[in-house]
Structure 1
Amino acid sequence: MRDNDRVTSATAQPETPGSPQFSTSLERGGSPVTPPRLIATDLDGTLLRDDKSVSPRTVAALAAAEEAGIEVFFVTGRPARWMDVVSDHVHGHGLAICGNGAAVVDLHGGAGSHRFVKVRELARQNALDAVRLLREAAPGTVYAVEQTYGFNQEPAYPKLHMEIPDVLAQAEELLAPGGPADGEPVLKILAHHPELDPDAFLTLARLAIGTRANVTRSSPSALLEISGPDVSKASTLALCCAERGISHEEVVAFGDMPNDIEMLTWAGRSYAMGNAHPDVLTAASGRTVANNEDGVAVVIEQLLSRRP
């Protein structure tokens, strides 16, 4: 698996390493660029290689950034329980933004001991409205419900995730007051369609659901992620930065899929991976190489090489 104080930065034509346009310099167009204080990076398809590993080069680059006084935030659509892949690589504050902004999690406890610092839940009525409206607009849609600790799904929901659901029931039952998922915040709804094109499904869902929820996607399949109406990677990252006195100009962000677009346009500088979705390439102010070529590390190394 892989919205909103949104500040749109001026976008350049996509750049590739080795071309005359590619640059991670602290100067762009002859104008000074604010030195970074925080790096915000997506995980799947961005920081992680396709085998879900963190390369030694990337581990070294993250450590060097923290040593230079630059905070590193992992900003992902993953739930907290899937963060073990990077728990060994946290430094400093050890916080991550999970569930596309629905939660801020302290990873210091290690595997199975993650602590929720902030939760931005999807209201039950909004979730029920979203389920109903999308069922009407796209018959055949099936759902799963992601909570702080639990994961529940409809019987027809495919085995997209390597885990066993806590409860099998229709989404309306799962989300009902007093239902099997009551008493625990809902972070997001997952909606899957077996036949629709992923981008077409996203457009249809946004039109159907409107302002009741924020809809995005990070999977190559027709799998949508539905969060609270003001919840996204960008809005939660903005809250975390405000708490630290960090402006959007001081943030460098990395991503590859539509759920990264708001974050990439909010950050002062942003990089689309070489393997990124076409809309992400348009939204980011720069481009780096693909995740399997350590694109995040490439940029961090160049940023650090130009620091005083």
Structure 2
Amino acid sequence: MSWIPSNDPVLGDSKTCDALELVIVPRTRDLGDGFAVRRALPHGKRQMVGPFIFFDHFGPVQFMSGKGMDVRPHPHIGLATVTYLFDGSIMHRDSEGNIQEIEPGAMNLMTAGRGIAHSERTPDLQRQSGQKMLGLQSWIALPAAAEEIAPSFQHYAAADLPTIRDRGFTARIIAGSAFGVTSPVAMVSPWFYTEVSAQRDVSVPLDPDHEERAIYLVDGEVEISGDRFEGPRLLVFRPGDRITVKTITPVRMMFLGGDALEGPRHIWWNFVSSSKARIEQAKADWRSGRFTAVPDETEFIPLPE
């Protein structure tokens, strides 16, 4: 999806748990037709958690028959996109010729590297019948040495991703390692992403061995070290502490993070880079039509002015 910059502040919660570094209340924005987006990253006090530099929570939204999502072709550099759905489906098309319908629980990882363009639309069948949509979109900033790698695309169906079930909770390991299990998804830097669904009155551990860690609470209420938090919230933890999440209600949450990158990133529209000059070049390339086009697509999102 295309990122529209905003000058609105992102609000933060007060916190008392010593293991917590920051609690972020995502800013809610209506993009039209009741399509709600909540943005947790980037934040004024925290650009990234591991390499996660962008984190959007969209929906729930109900599209009526004949309606749907149409994100026209737009470009990316210096990042990898992860679109993860709880409800609904999206048809992905990119300039490398990949065409893939994204369904709930599946993993689509599009690595932009030196440059890619893609579109995201409601599939024809679901547009005819209408559908509910709820999901997350994340951007993973690439390490400096990999910012200009060739673009690529990976898809894993929900059934292909390892899932564990233990004492009242279920965890799907989308990328990286968690709970002693490793996802098959290939990555250019160490990061992890796991969906956890838990019943009420369940304890779920957050592994301490990742350098930077956070929990995005999609819905439900949890208790950590005596403090209670209700979704949607992004809870960013200090490194090294053992964390146990106790569920007060049934909960859906994402565990995420990884190794910190070697430095901050510049972010403008859909471009991420360690170099301002590289972003200026990407602007000029999109404006001049030098990005490879998405096959069979004639529309595109113009460069913001």
Shared fold (TM-score greater than 0.5)? no
| Highest RCO, 1 vs 2 (Cα 8 Å, sep ≥ 6) | 1
More strand by share: 2
Q: TM-score, normalised by structure 2?
A: 0.30
